[in-house]
């Protein structure tokens, strides 16, 4: 999957299937459809998002038709679509507590400019991930991995977390790059207390809320520790993730470069699902091949690969 050309990689005609199913289920008139298409065009949303935005369909309607379509398409085209991750927010109580409110930096375009071309591509990637993930009562945990540094992994982590939160899904952005963390820089957040401190103490993690994104929580990496791999491979991080799976709908994990550290592999094993990042004209084929070989030992599911162009 390429963030530069995500729509070509999505299942063909999927939006049309959802559109027709919503029209039938909600008895949408031609005038309703015209209003939705106008909102779709002006806000750069897909049909379902535009219909929810103007109040002509509910999230329940979208959840139901998406589930039906994905079940049908999975039988007709196995391996292309596995299942839909369209579920209610429910009444689960969030166990994390916010220490303060931070703000997304200007680098995170999706938080500031919904009609930007990159924002549209990120929403397309979000939609594909929604359809590739498996629906359950627990949060979907996705670790983002890349072979080297400077490939756009951390920024894409932040942008994906923002994208899911903008859908009203409770999302935790977890900075597990305890080597050279950057999520606190992307969100103008302090980094005095974060994941590293949560793993070396018995205190509950204190996350940051994000201005303008009430459904997004950020847990920074925290101050440096001498044994990051040991901490990320220990029981404490596994227990924390288990708790968060009940409190969140999505957990997006940033990791260090796999070619330099094994931390990302440890997180991939815990997450169970991985999105691979590489950068066009920069990432070496040998590095990618080596990362995939090492990743196979974790038995985690690779959801896809994103090619960054910048």
| Tens-place pLDDT, residues 246-301 | 889 999 999 999 999 999 999 999 999 999 999 998 999 999 999 999 999 999 99
Gap between the Cα atoms of 17 and 33, Å rounded? 14
Pair of tokens at residue 9: 């990689």
Instruction: Give pLDDT tens digits for 81-94.
Output: 333 333 333 333 33
Pair of tokens at residue 179: 């080597």
Quick count: other Cβ atoms within 10 Å of Cβ 204? 12
Q: Given the DSSP bridges, would you call strands 213-219 and 206-210 parallel, antiparallel or unpaired?
A: antiparallel
Whether residue 251 contacts residue 172, with contact meaning beta carbons closer than 8 Å, is answered with yes
Q: How many CA atoms within 13 Å lie on the side-chain side of 30? A: 0
Gap between the Cα atoms of 261 and 255, Å rounded? 9
Pair of tokens at residue 238: 């596994």
Instruction: Give pLDDT tens digits for 194-230.
Output: 999 999 987 778 899 999 999 999 999 999 999 999 9
More confident residue, 60 or 238: 238
Instruction: For the chain, report the end-to-end CA distance as a whole number of angstroms.
Output: 16
Q: Is 99 helix (H, G, I), strand (E, B) or coil?
A: strand
173 Cβ neighbours under 8 A, 6+ residues apart: 157, 158, 161, 183, 216, 217, 218, 219, 252, 254
């Amino acid at each position: 999957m390429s963030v530069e050309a995500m729509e070509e990689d999505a299942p063909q005609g999927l939006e049309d299937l959802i559109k027709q199913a919503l029209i039938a289920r909600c008895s949408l008139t031609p005038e309703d459809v015209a209003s939705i298409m106008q909102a779709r065009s002006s806000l750069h949303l897909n049909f379902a998002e535009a219909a929810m935005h103007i109040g002509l369909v509910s999230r329940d309607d979208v959840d139901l038709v998406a589930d039906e379509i994905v079940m049908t398409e999975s039988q007709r085209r196995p391996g292309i679509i596995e299942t839909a991750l369209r579920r209610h927010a429910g009444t689960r109580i969030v166990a994390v507590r916010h220490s303060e409110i931070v703000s997304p930096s200007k680098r995170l375009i999706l938080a500031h400019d919904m009609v930007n071309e990159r924002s549209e591509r990120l929403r397309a990637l979000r939609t594909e991930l929604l359809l590739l993930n498996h629906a359950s009562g627990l949060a979907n945990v996705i670790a983002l991995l890349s072979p080297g540094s400077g490939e756009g992994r951390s920024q894409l982590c932040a942008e994906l977390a923002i994208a899911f939160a903008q859908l009203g899904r409770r999302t935790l952005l977890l900075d597990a790059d305890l080597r050279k963390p950057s999520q606190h820089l992307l969100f103008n957040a302090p980094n005095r207390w974060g994941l590293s401190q949560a793993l070396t103490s018995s205190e509950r993690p204190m996350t940051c809320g994000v201005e303008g994104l009430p459904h997004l929580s950020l847990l920074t990496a925290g101050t440096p520790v001498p044994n990051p791999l040991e901490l990320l491979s220990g029981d404490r991080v596994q227990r924390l993730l288990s708790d968060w799976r009940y409190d969140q709908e999505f957990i997006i994990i940033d990791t260090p470069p796999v070619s330099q550290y094994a931390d990302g592999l440890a997180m991939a094993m815990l997450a169970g699902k991985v999105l691979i990042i590489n950068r066009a004209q920069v990432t070496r084929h040998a590095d990618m091949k080596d990362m995939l070989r090492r990743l196979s030992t974790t038995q985690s599911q690779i959801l896809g690969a994103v090619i960054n162009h910048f």
